[in-house]
Amino acid sequence: MGRNSRIESILGSLTLEEKCSFLAGKNMWETLNIDRLGIKSLKMTDGPAGVRGSTWTDGTHTTYIPCGISLAATFDPAIVERIGDILGAETRSKNSHVLLAPTMNISRSPLGGRNFENFGEDPFLSAILASSYVNGVQKHGVGACIKHFVANDMETRRFNMDQQIDERTLREIYLKPFELAVRLSKPWTAMAAYPKINGEHADCSQFLLQQVLRSEWGFDGLVVSDWGGTNDTVKSIIAGTDLEMPGPGIRYGVQLLEAVRLGKVLEKDHIDASVRRLLELLDRAKLLDAEEAIADAEKNSDLPEFRQTTREAASGSIVLLKNDNDILPLRPERYNSLAIIGPNAQKPTTGGTGSAAVNPYYITTPYESLSQMALEANPSLKSSFSQGILTNLQPTLPGGMLRTPDGAQVGVRVEFFKGHEFQGEVVGSSHWNNSVVFMMSDGDTPEELRGQPHCYRLSGVLTPTTSGLFDFSLSNTGKAKLFIDDQLLIDNFEWTELGGSFMNCGSANRLGELWLEAGRNYDFRVDNIVVPPPIPPHDNTLFHTLSGLRVGIQHRIDEQGLFEEAIRNASDADVVVLVVGHNNDTEKEGIDRKSLLLPRRTNELVEAVCKANKNVVVVTQSASAIDMSWADQSPAIVHAWYQGQENGNALADILLGKVNPSGKLPITFPRALEDHGSHAWFPGDVENDFAEYGEGILVGYRWFDAKKIEPLWPFGFGLSYTKFEISQVSVQGIIRASEDAKAVIRANVSNVGSHDGAEVVQVYLGSSPVIQEKGRQSTPRSLVGFAKVFVEKGTTKSVSFELGADSVSWFDVHDREGPYPGGRWRVDPGTYTCYVGTSSRNISAEVTVIVE
């Protein structure tokens, strides 16, 4: 029996009740199995920063890759595909079939809390790298899921926000990465976004799902809701959202069955189409095969080649922004002392939160890697560390200070009770590695209590290593109280202010303080009643039903003394590496940032250290543009993003010259937030859930170019330890849309410096002359090609780029005679200016391209 006939046979054997249930998940990560027909469950897993598996917190270990914006900074499709290879292999090792990645939304604003997952501000760059990512994953017989379709570009009120985006902007900027990825890599699945686009939730939009995704682009894969993001039983299924996740169903299942019986949904036209696509996905994953699939336990796969690839990707993304007097690379043999300073030096930000959270095999830190590698180069080198400032917004987790009641394990014991009184028999218990729990996975809560009134108690023994005053914090989703030695310390039963934790369904931190004695054991207990949080209603069906809590415990220290110690160490050292940046309190999923500023006192620390020592290398960590008002004071600046497990090693490789920096900025750094094109419209009218994308197509560098605003650091910018020259730029051929004829841009790249290294050649194209003639919104130039090429010192290599009709096409919403209601794609004849260079502002040559 052929594939199609087998699927049609199974489809014909399903009852209507089974079909409607089948289109909702079985649990958090799996689809429904139907044993009588041999249909097995398909397992999905996050995510964009590594393959987590089925357990949200403290699950199996995995390779922790650089975040999406780091990968984008490589401008290297080959290394991104190799990262996809790792993810595909580990998806299989976690007994999963679909990886819920890559994230392909646009970094529209530097304030976007989830920008760490994206590939930057340019749709072409995003598309090419996402396609390479998907190709790498799907080599392994597992599927990728392009997300979030579409315009999930802010965290503020993300379930409710109605984003007003004109159709030209929607198609040319926000849909473009998805369109190219569908055509170049054929992903197995796509995920509908949370927000509304032009008045309609993405999962309910026939325009987005039926007209654009399926009819125009020919996507034949499965469309899955984002978790809890199925907004309407009838509208979602008619629009083509095939699968509601997670399960059991809220909108689908019983509700969908009732809609069919009432005639609001048609079994043949709507239900069968979605069931067929889900069966086809299961078939691709070999879950319809007759032989029994063995559900192996999730496995670890910490392979040397995975470590090496991750390290190469991390170092290849680091951007050298400034290097006055060639202070870099550092030469340890020339120094007697090295001071490594800053809050991110020993505790770097390795990645984002939320869907990007993973349990890594290991973490390398800037301090450990740099001091060790420098000492190898100069055994007599003296290195010191100073934290300088505290940048976390809440007390840190206690880690090894907290053990289970029997003392056997680090962490806490969690015990569950029926009802809300913490009485009767313990229904179930579990172990958590620290004082933070998030009941996000199916095994976290005993099955008999799911959906039933219940509560749980965390208990352990707290043994401080230092005497003094400790700050405590409590954040939770339900009603929680913290006790130390059975004495109530924090009561957070009645709360009304959100704090951004637990997918922005948790409370703001409630604080307490207590004097603790070193070495003494204190009974630690938190009681939490599982009830929905008292937050304004939103359209997500999942997150407000989950439960979580976090207790922070931090010894109070003399912050001014900490600051002054750092300045003294800076003054005494021959050279300083200062590592600062955002952290998981200040840049994370669930909330957007409010300004470009780094956490408190960061700018003050940078300025003071630079004043104390003339040889300072400032290393910044963030996923977005940040304020660098101190940029003129530091001779060297390195932007290091969030690099996963190789955070420290990759940075040390760059600073010590083992790897020549080649990363380029996939986003524009403005001098001030007001200079950025999104500023006037981001995040929008929060009170009325209304956001206007008023900058139109002028996203990122396009705005700066069109408005003639000088950025701090332009898109595509990044220095090297060597020097490159681009020459002999030429054009061969012309673009003819009707014949699919292409123009070929050729250029030579010469390494005229003293180090081997890689350069990214970038090709930009000017707007259509018709756009300019008609006075339509236009951008001086847009990225249409790039190539990362390694060139040995003293040699030259050639690169070439093919430009076709796609490079010059634009969507004319005023042409009502086109095939779409709002207009048509068009290619205008004429002479176009082509810019070849090494950033959006550093142009080496201009040539003309003819379009007929």
Report the 10 Å Cβ neighbour count for 465. 10
- CA nearest 627: which of 657, 652, 599? 599
Coil, strand or helix at 553: strand
Question: What order of strands is seen across the sheet that includes strand 222-225?
Answer: 44-45, 98-99, 143-149, 189-192, 222-225
Pairing between strand 468-476 and 510-516? antiparallel
Structure tokens at 295: 């559900």
- CA nearest 805: which of 717, 737, 738? 737
Q: Is residue 173 exposed (0-12), middle (13-18) or buried (19+ Cβ within 10 Å)?
A: buried
Alpha-carbon dihedral sign for residues 437, 438, 444, 448:
positive
Would you give the end-to-end CA distance of the chain in angstroms? Answer: 50
Rounded CA-CA distance 803/725 in Å is: 22
Q: Establish whether 226 is a catalytic residue.
A: yes
Rounded CA-CA distance 103/120 in Å is: 11
φ/ψ bin of 359: left (φ > 0), alpha (ψ from -120 to 50), beta (otherwise): beta
Inter-residue contact 356 to 101 (CB < 8 Å): no
Tell me the helices (H) and strands (E) count for the chain, helix number first: 20, 35
- CA nearest 431: which of 454, 406, 451, 449? 406
Rounded CA-CA distance 618/577 in Å is: 6
Question: What order of strands is seen across the sheet that includes strand 636-639?
Answer: 319-323, 636-639, 616-621, 575-581, 337-341, 382-386
What is 222-250 written as a DSSP string? EEEEPTT----HHHHHHHT--BBSSSS-S
Max Cα distance, the chain (Å): 82
Inter-residue contact 459 to 422 (CB < 8 Å): no
At residue 414, φ and ψ (nearest 5 deg) are -115, 125
Calculated CA dihedral for residues 199, 201, 202, 208, nearest 10 degrees: -40
Structure tokens at 773: 């003639």
Rounded CA-CA distance 526/81 in Å is: 45
Structure tokens at 696: 């139109």
The partner residues of 616 in beta bridges, in order of sequence, read 576
Residue 462's alpha-carbon distances to 416, 430, 496, 552, in angstroms, are 21, 18, 29, 12
- Residue found by looking up tokens 């001098």 in the block: 671
Rounded CA-CA distance 397/401 in Å is: 9
46, 162, 203, 226: which is the annotated catalytic residue? 226
Beta strands in 559-701 (DSSP E): 575-581, 616-621, 636-639, 690-692
Rounded CA-CA distance 646/66 in Å is: 8
- Residue found by looking up tokens 């991390």 in the block: 314
- CA 440, distance to chain mean position in Å, is 19
Pairing between strand 575-581 and 616-621? parallel
The partner residues of 34 in beta bridges, in order of sequence, read 39
Which residues are known to be catalytic?
226
